[in-house]
Amino acid sequence: MQINDNKNEYVKKVAASDYKYGFTTDIETEIIPKGLNEDVIRLISAKKGEPDWLLDFRLKAYRHWTTLTMPRWAHLDIPDIDFQDISYYANPLKKDGPKSMDEVDPELIKTFNKLGIPLEEQMALSGMAVDAVMDSVSVKTTFKESLMEKGIIFCSISEAVREHPDLVRRYLGSVVSPTDNFFAALNSAVFTDGSFVYIPKGVRCPMELSTYFRINAAGTGQFERTLIVADDDSYVSYLEGCTAPMRDSNQLHAAIVEIYVHDRAEVKYSTVQNWYPGDKEGKGGIYNFVTKRGLCKGVSSKLSWTQVETGSAITWKYPSCVLAGNNSQAEFYSVAVTNNFQQADTGTKMIHLGSNTRSTIISKGISAGRSQNSYRGLVRVAEKAENVRNYSQCDSLLLGDKCGAHTFPYMDIHNDTAVVEHEATTSKISEEQIFYCNQRGIATEEAIGLIVNGYAREVLNKLPMEFAVEAQKLLQVSLEGSVG
């Protein structure tokens, strides 16, 4: 991957950058009162006009959630969260759903323009279909009509509940059960919106599907839910981007992504996560507690997670794959950058249930400032899974002596035909390399950018082109000020 050609401009950008997505949008927003109980859940469900089965789904999840306590096993220092001090529904006000771009609130369009994702432009130029989720509600899905011609469904999950109830009912919670974990239960109880994708049998989705998530309103949590179903022999590449305004208080984001992959289907899921990480003193920022899991149910199915994680004050996230179908394959490619007071505990789980299943894990952690960055991963080979192969490589790069880099892999092997390999290294950024760059006239800050991008290249290469460029910039921006 090529580093930005125009170096001067690049340096300027870096120098000027704090958190460039840190604006708020002045949009009338309907926020329900803070607090969580069964009435709130009934209210959310009623506001969304949901069928009874979905309300039941939520209530069951809520009742289970009340029996759980927040997980503390991660290498994270998580302050107590008052779940009654959060508003669980914030809706940018509108009368009816927009029928065309003209009807979308101009302020909202401005927001997306600031985000660098002008919907119109995206529609025209990049051929990308975008579902933008602002706070909790899906605002606009582009390109829906042209996707519909191929039978592809790409819409907000609320719409999917209305228009495709059978599909949603069949798959919702089939990969991440509402009782899976504390945050999954919470999300299942209160999720307000998100995206739904269905790719019919034999269809290759002709464009990248993309969702931008943004938390806007203060004092709210965001609980979106993404459900992707790839039917037999289909293919889809899905991108997810996240930003949030700068606020002094912490905000909670607890999402679920479920992916169901049928026979010989392939799903690529890419994330560039850039939630507000808090300021240089560690004030504010998003708590990003996300459950992402894909089920390779079908034979020879394939799932690939790629993530570039630069934002959030605290990240707790393990995009996982259950390889149930024989000959299925899974990949996890991750770059996680932490700076200042950020904390990340992220990694993956590869659960091999089927025979001849393969998985690859490549994780690149970069820690700077006073941050703590942990890789946590599990490779499990079930008793009946023959000829499983896994290769994991987890590298950590340290910038500065106040930060931490940690690696916690778990290998549970229950079958003698498995070959499972794990390698990890931790090292600091090479002073020789920086000096070499200096000697060639490249400033240290930029040299670090170069070196870090080179270090992360294996992962960045997995991203679709549009995202790769943004991700490269993000890496540089996130590490700004990390050298003393």
Partner 1 sequence: MTKPSDMNASPERQYVDLFRQVRPMLARHSAPEMDALRDEAFSFFEAKGFPTLKDEAYRYTDLRLKFAIDYGMNLNRLEVKVDPYKAFRCDVPNLSTSLFFVVNDTFCARPEHLTALPSGVELMSLREAAAKHPSLLASRYGKLAGQSQDSLTAFNTAFVEDGVFLYVPDNVVVEKPIQLINVMSSTVDMMANRRILIIIGENAQAKLLVCDHADGEANYLSTQVAEIYVGRNSVFDYYELEETTANTTRVANTYLSQDASSNVLVNGVTLTNGTTRNHVNVMLEGENAEIMLGGIATVDRRQHVDNNTVIQHRVPRCTSHELFKYVLDDEATGAFAGKVRVNPGAQKTSSQQTNKNLCLTKQARMYAQPQLEIYADDVKCSHGATVGQLDENAVFYMRQRGLSKKEAMNLLMFAFVNEVVDFIRMDALKDRLHLLVEKRFRGELDRCGGCSKCKYE
Binding site for partner 1 (CB under 8 A): 73, 75, 383, 396, 398-428
Residue closer to partner 1 (CB basis): 204 or 428? 428
CA distances from 77 to 71, 73, 109 (A): 11, 10, 37
Residue closer to partner 1 (CB basis): 294 or 365? 365
Are 104 and 140 within 8 A, CB to CB? yes
Query: Smallest distance from the beta carbon of 394 to partner 1, in angstroms?
Result: 9
What b/e sequence results for 179-199 when a residue is b if at least 16 CB atoms lie within 10 Å of its CB, and e otherwise? bbbbbbbbbbbbbbbbbbbbb
The whole-angstrom separation of Cα 112 and Cα 298 is 37
DSSP strand pairing (372-381 vs 404-413): parallel
Query: Smallest distance from the beta carbon of 458 to partner 1, in angstroms?
Result: 17
Q: Give me 23's structure tokens.
A: 């604006």
Query: Smallest distance from the beta carbon of 377 to partner 1, in angstroms?
Result: 11
Residue closer to partner 1 (CB basis): 337 or 418? 418
Question: What is the maximal distance between C-alpha atoms in the chain?
Answer: 68
Residue closer to partner 1 (CB basis): 170 or 402? 402
Residue closer to partner 1 (CB basis): 349 or 462? 349
What phi, psi does 207 have (nearest 5°)?
-140, 165
DSSP state of 126: I
Query: Smallest distance from the beta carbon of 64 to partner 1, in angstroms?
Result: 19
Q: Residue 16 CA to chain centroid, in angstroms? A: 26
The whole-angstrom separation of Cα 288 and Cα 344 is 9
CB-based contacts of 80-85 (< 8 A; 24+ apart in sequence): 81/252, 81/287, 83/36, 83/186, 84/34, 84/35, 84/36, 85/34, 85/35, 85/219
Residue closer to partner 1 (CB basis): 109 or 413? 413
Query: Smallest distance from the beta carbon of 326 to partner 1, in angstroms?
Result: 17
> Cα 336–340–342 angle (5° rounding)?
50
Contacts of 274 (CB under 8 A, 6+ apart): 21, 241, 242, 243, 310, 311, 474
Query: Smallest distance from the beta carbon of 367 to partner 1, in angstroms?
Result: 8
The whole-angstrom separation of Cα 230 and Cα 262 is 6
CB-based contacts of 181-184 (< 8 A; 24+ apart in sequence): 181/68, 181/71, 181/291, 182/65, 182/68, 182/69, 182/70, 182/71, 183/254, 183/289, 183/290, 183/291, 183/316, 184/256, 184/291
Query: Smallest distance from the beta carbon of 413 to partner 1, in angstroms?
Result: 4
Residue closer to partner 1 (CB basis): 73 or 281? 73
Residue closer to partner 1 (CB basis): 195 or 374? 374
Residue closer to partner 1 (CB basis): 299 or 413? 413
Query: Smallest distance from the beta carbon of 410 to partner 1, in angstroms?
Result: 5
Residue closer to partner 1 (CB basis): 152 or 479? 479
In the Cβ-directed half-sphere of 90, how many Cα atoms lie within 13 Å? 22
Q: Give me 142's structure tokens.
A: 């582009």
The whole-angstrom separation of Cα 315 and Cα 31 is 25
Query: Smallest distance from the beta carbon of 211 to partner 1, in angstroms?
Result: 34
Query: Smallest distance from the beta carbon of 53 to partner 1, in angstroms?
Result: 35
Q: Give me 159's structure tokens.
A: 């719409």
Residue closer to partner 1 (CB basis): 107 or 423? 423
Query: Smallest distance from the beta carbon of 427 to partner 1, in angstroms?
Result: 6
* 365 SS3 class: strand
